[in-house]
Amino acid sequence: KVERSPEVQAARMLLPVVAEEQKIMEAIFNNPCVVIWGTTGSGKTTQVPQFLYEAGFGDPKGPTPGMIGVTQPRRVAAVSMSKRVSDELGGLPDKVSYQIRYESSVSSQTAIKFMTDGILVREIANDFALLKYSVIIIDEAHERSTNTDILIGMVSRIVDLRGDMNKEDPKVTPLKLVIMSATLRVSDFLENTNLFRNGPPPLVQAEGRQFPVTVHFSRTTQRDYLEETFQKVSRGHKKLPPGGMLVFLTGQNEINALSKRLKESFVNTKASNSTSQKITISASDAPLETEDLDLGGDLARTHRDLNNHADGWSDEGEDEDEFAIEPVEGYTSMSSHIHVLPLYSQLQTKDQMLVFAPVPENARLIVLATNVAETSLTIPGIRYVFDTGRAKERRYDQMTGVQTFEIDWISKASASQRAGRAGRTGPGHCYRLYSSAIYERDFQEYAEPEILQMPVEGIVLQLKSMDLQHVINFPFPTPPDRHSLAKAEKLLTYLGALSPHGKITPIGRELSAYPLSPRFSKMLVIGHQHGCMPYTIALVSALAVQDLFIPENQLDLSAPIQDAGTIYTTADRLEDESRERRKREFHKANSVFSKNSVSSDAIKALTALCAYAYASDHDMFALNYFLSPKAVKEASTLRHQLSTIVQNNQPGVLPSKFQSRLPQPSPKQLKAVEQILAAAFIDQVAIRADLAPTAEETPRKPSRATDVPYLPLFETHQGKADDIVEIAVFIHPSSVLANFAPRELPHYLVYSHLQRSAPASVEGARKPRTR
């Protein structure tokens, strides 16, 4: 029996989804698959699992004993929603659990399980009929994350399979599929006859009680949108009546910079310095925001100048008086404080949860968020939205395999989702930091599905391991193009995972057992040579979790440092002298990690992760050695996890007890680890251009390592390129090799990925760089 508190009960009653409970449950009882559409905040994620629970799903003694599985594209949402549902159900904490890549609270008591979509994809590999579940809810389907797309294809088939199994053996219960979406972009599923062979599933609508949101476009679109955001939010705070503000930015760096600046100008008494310094962060320096992939490869990033046409547009008549709102009597905003909270995926979970906590009295909540606040999370009390109109998105060149992370305009659908965040508690306002002309001309209707923006070798391997010979026949909601499927098959063949005829090999089956991209799995499968397995595992963990090292250009923004009893916080401006000292410490820390190899970034990452395991105070170690605390913690957890998986899959290659503190590897072992790495990146080798058979005299000898051209040995470009400038790649400035004298650079390089660099940093040329 569920006993909800009176407050929860009252809040539920206001949710549109609760008003439609009967309609929703009837549809689910009468159909194997159902699509639910309702605006963000209408109660889909928190309420539908509770309806199912109360109807007996997940009850071990009932007729539908399997768990209620709920997938989310984002980890933040999986964790926070399971907590919320558990709270709402009151007193049943064991019944609701979550599982994300690095954490799980699932037990034998679990009835409702929240998880990331990648987790369920992995589970299907081991339990093809998903027998542990009685119903699968695929949430946030409109986001079109790759794993969600794959799940819709797979689970729609499993529903048929469970139906057939039930006919043969009534003890096997049928499986229900519920797809939930915040937008009406569901036609890709509904009208796809390849997906739902018995006709489209019914669409149940829970129309949100959304208050009107007034949208204000800017008259012009500023190139420096961060500065513009600061100005506008500051003015807004002074002029606007009480109400929370939600500001959409593109990443962690922008959020931290804006947070610091807002606090400086409103918390400090000397508010005057607020206009003196400008915030400038190039997107190419920003850390990755998008969560790393459970399937697929590495990420890279760059910045594309999206403001080519931005300046100079103007829309007469708009934005005359930007905050033309009825004044509230007796209200003076200057007496109110600001309560600034960041929200992005790399933030620790407990800090993310702060946005749901009560706001201090007499303070205005200002949440600075990335896309995570667009549809997955609903923050209470938001009345004003400030939308920069930009997001950091993955771009992947299907032809060359070059990946980039670019700041680009969002879609019209996203802009409308963002605006909608202002209308949950009452009428709201959305301030767009771009003009309506830009919106009309440059914003696409919908964002492209992610599957078209990433390498698909992980997906191809997964499908092949399920004995799907012709991957092209899989019911993808939006199929990847043939070229990228072919490219993925080629790589899998190099790795020995597929036979020349495209059939999965025993090695391929081994690779598919690991929750990693096939390259990293390959390293684990061959990693036992010379007793290297513990090192190989640590190396894979360090590489699979991105951004272990805090880059030099983020020194000032990184966490506080301990210095002879004084703690400098990010809010303090570091004096020149301590800034210099910090730089020296940074270089010292980095050279410590290079002790095992002066020329390998991979070995440097391995060394850092192994050293971290020896620290008595992990967080302090991360701070002092310029490692990202969250990333290095995740890498450590992954290390532990992978050790368990390796132990199960390859009995005897590891000591029976996990050993986090490893002895110094021998020179022979270091060499072997490098060879293992090279085997996994066999198609990503480049030769120094002057040593290539086709080498031409170059007119000028490069003076810096980062200007020395290398040539990839495998085709990266379509067709042939005669011009060396067209096909050359260069060492990334963050690499340990960047400090080499040009003539001492190695003849060959193994690289993890190519990325296109920001035009500014290479004087106008756009050359791919290796990392």
The number of beta carbons lying within 10 Å of the beta carbon of residue 203 is 16
Interface stretch with ligand ADP, choices 37-45, 489-497, 541-549, 625-633 (CB under 6 A):
37-45
In the complex, minimum distance from the CB of residue 89 to ligand ADP, in angstroms, rounded to a whole number: 13
What sign has the CA pseudo-torsion 30, 33, 39, 45? positive
- Site for ligand ADP (CB under 6 A): which residue of 18, 27, 33, 40? 40
- Site for ligand ADP (CB under 6 A): which residue of 64, 71, 192, 378? 378
Selection from 502, 445, 504, 456 nearest residue 478 by Cα: 456
Contact 595, 664 (CB under 8 A): no
Interface stretch with ligand ADP, choices 44-52, 251-259, 634-642, 689-697 (CB under 6 A):
44-52
Q: Of these partners, Mg ion, ligand ADP, none, which one is at the site of residue 237 (CB under 5 to 8 Å by kind)?
A: none
Q: Does 256 bind ligand ADP (CB under 6 A)?
A: no
Q: Does 44 bind ligand ADP (CB under 6 A)?
A: yes
In the complex, minimum distance from the CB of residue 45 to Mg ion, in angstroms, rounded to a whole number: 3
Q: Of these partners, Mg ion, ligand ADP, none, which one is at the site of residue 42 (CB under 5 to 8 Å by kind)?
A: ligand ADP
Distance (Å, rounded) from C-alpha 731 to C-alpha 735? 7
Q: Of these partners, ligand ADP, Mg ion, none, which one is at the site of residue 378 (CB under 5 to 8 Å by kind)?
A: ligand ADP
Q: Which residues of 149-167 are buried (b: 16+ CB within 10 A; e: fewer)?
A: bbbbbbbbbbbbbbeebee
In the complex, minimum distance from the CB of residue 248 to ligand ADP, in angstroms, rounded to a whole number: 17
Distance (Å, rounded) from C-alpha 423 to C-alpha 176? 33
Three-class DSSP category at 40: coil
In the complex, minimum distance from the CB of residue 44 to Mg ion, in angstroms, rounded to a whole number: 5
Contact 202, 32 (CB under 8 A): no
**Cα 379 from chain centroid (whole Å):** 20
Measured CA distances, 432 to 310, 446, 448, 608 (Å): 14, 18, 22, 43
- The footprint of ligand ADP on residues 413-442 (CB under 6 A) is 424
The nearer residue to ligand ADP, 144 or 633, going by C-beta atoms, is 144
Q: Does 414 bind Mg ion (CB under 5 A)?
A: no
The nearer residue to Mg ion, 80 or 110, going by C-beta atoms, is 80
Residue nearest to Mg ion (CB): 45
Q: What is the DSSP string of 307-374?
A: TTTTTT---TTTTSSTT--PPPTT--GGGSEEEEEEE-TTS-HHHHGGGGSPPPTTEEEEEEE-GGGT
Interface stretch with ligand ADP, choices 40-48, 440-448, 510-518, 625-633 (CB under 6 A):
40-48
Contact 95, 112 (CB under 8 A): yes
Contact 515, 101 (CB under 8 A): yes
Q: Of these partners, ligand ADP, Mg ion, none, which one is at the site of residue 29 (CB under 5 to 8 Å by kind)?
A: none
Place of tokens 């949950």: 424
Alpha carbon dihedral 513, 514, 517, 520, in 10-degree steps, equals -120
The nearer residue to ligand ADP, 44 or 732, going by C-beta atoms, is 44
The nearer residue to Mg ion, 372 or 410, going by C-beta atoms, is 372
In the complex, minimum distance from the CB of residue 138 to ligand ADP, in angstroms, rounded to a whole number: 13
Q: Does 716 bind ligand ADP (CB under 6 A)?
A: no
Distance (Å, rounded) from C-alpha 191 to C-alpha 371? 28
Interface stretch with Mg ion, choices 41-49, 328-336, 474-482, 548-556 (CB under 5 A):
41-49
Q: Of these partners, ligand ADP, Mg ion, none, which one is at the site of residue 43 (CB under 5 to 8 Å by kind)?
A: ligand ADP
Binding mask of the shown chain, residues 61 to 80, with x at each position contacting ligand ADP by CB under 6 A:
-------------------x
Q: How many residues bind ligand ADP (CB under 6 A)?
A: 16
Contact 501, 511 (CB under 8 A): no
Q: Which amino acid belongs to residue 155?
A: V
The nearer residue to ligand ADP, 20 or 489, going by C-beta atoms, is 20
Measured CA distances, 128 to 53, 101, 103, 154, 240 (Å): 24, 20, 23, 9, 55
Q: Does 237 bind ligand ADP (CB under 6 A)?
A: no
Within 31-172, where are the H helices? Answer: 44-54, 75-89, 117-126, 146-168
The nearer residue to ligand ADP, 120 or 141, going by C-beta atoms, is 141
Q: Of these partners, ligand ADP, Mg ion, none, which one is at the site of residue 753 (CB under 5 to 8 Å by kind)?
A: none
Interface stretch with ligand ADP, choices 38-46, 271-279, 587-595, 657-665 (CB under 6 A):
38-46
Measured CA distances, 161 to 131, 244, 364 (Å): 11, 48, 53
Interface stretch with ligand ADP, choices 33-41, 501-509, 706-714, 726-734 (CB under 6 A):
33-41
Q: Does 84 bind ligand ADP (CB under 6 A)?
A: yes
Q: Does 45 bind Mg ion (CB under 5 A)?
A: yes
Within 101-224, where are the H helices? Answer: 117-126, 146-168, 187-190
In the complex, minimum distance from the CB of residue 83 to ligand ADP, in angstroms, rounded to a whole number: 7
In the complex, minimum distance from the CB of residue 43 to Mg ion, in angstroms, rounded to a whole number: 8
Q: Does 356 bind ligand ADP (CB under 6 A)?
A: yes
For 309, the token pair is 């046409």
Interface stretch with Mg ion, choices 40-48, 155-163, 231-239, 674-682 (CB under 5 A):
40-48
Q: Does 41 bind ligand ADP (CB under 6 A)?
A: yes
Three-class DSSP category at 69: strand
Distance (Å, rounded) from C-alpha 97 to C-alpha 86? 8
Report the interface residues with Mg ion, using CB under 5 A.
44-45
Report the interface residues with ligand ADP, using CB under 6 A.
15, 38, 40-47, 80, 84, 356, 378, 380, 424
